[in-house]
Amino acid sequence: MSLRKIVIYPADALKEKASDVSEIDGAVVKLAEDMAETMYAAPGIGLAAPQVGESKRIIVLDVPIDDDRTTGLIKLANPVLVESEGEVEHEEGCLSLPGLYEVVRRKAKVLVKGIDLSTEREVEIEADGLFAIALQHEIDHLDGVLFIDRLSPMKRKFALKRYRKILKEKEKEL
């Protein structure tokens, strides 16, 4: 396994729709392992392949459920949101927009289908709370959608202004 460089907004790779994974091979499995290592090192709770410059429909997640438990590492290829219900607002951040956090409206409960890269079998995942939010966030990345794209135009404008300020401050630190 090895760490990958996380692609930072406004990189074009973050705006493109990722390609389906047609075959689970060693390269796909290694990519998912590298993504998991990168996610943990960042640290984050989810990462999509476009965030490491790979246009593949692969996501990895390990989401806190409570103080003592997480979902455990989940590696999915070709995840699809099948059903959803309810609405919830939650503050989100993104490894590709470091330092920026905004409240985003998402579906409260979701059913996602995909191929579990640990077993190479199709799975269905029912999720709510932060787990549902993280699944939606990462699947959005596969479609070239960022959490800031879910904000109203005015909120998005102000968020991007703050983000540019955050980037300038980080440049000064270097």
- pLDDT, tens only, 134-171: 999 999 999 999 999 999 999 999 999 999 999 999 88
Q: Does a structural domain hold residue 2?
A: no
This prediction has a pTM of: 0.96
Note the pLDDT tens digit of each residue in 26-74. Answer: 999 999 999 999 999 999 999 999 999 999 999 999 999 888 889 999 9
Q: Tell me, what CATH number does 63's domain have?
A: 3.90.45.10
Q: Does a structural domain hold residue 139?
A: yes
Cα–Cα distance measured from residue 170 to residue 174, given in angstroms and rounded to the nearest whole number: 7
Q: Does a structural domain hold residue 4?
A: no
Active-site hit among 85, 102, 138, 171: 138
Exposed, middle or buried: residue 156 (CB in 10 Å: 0-12, 13-18, 19+)? middle
Query: 45: Cβ–Cβ under 8 A, 6 or more apart, which residues?
Result: 39, 61, 62, 63, 64, 130, 134
Provide the domain count of the chain.
1
Q: Does a structural domain hold residue 30?
A: yes
Q: Does a structural domain hold residue 6?
A: no
Domain hosting 23: range is: 12-173
Active site residue 85: no
Q: Does a structural domain hold residue 63?
A: yes
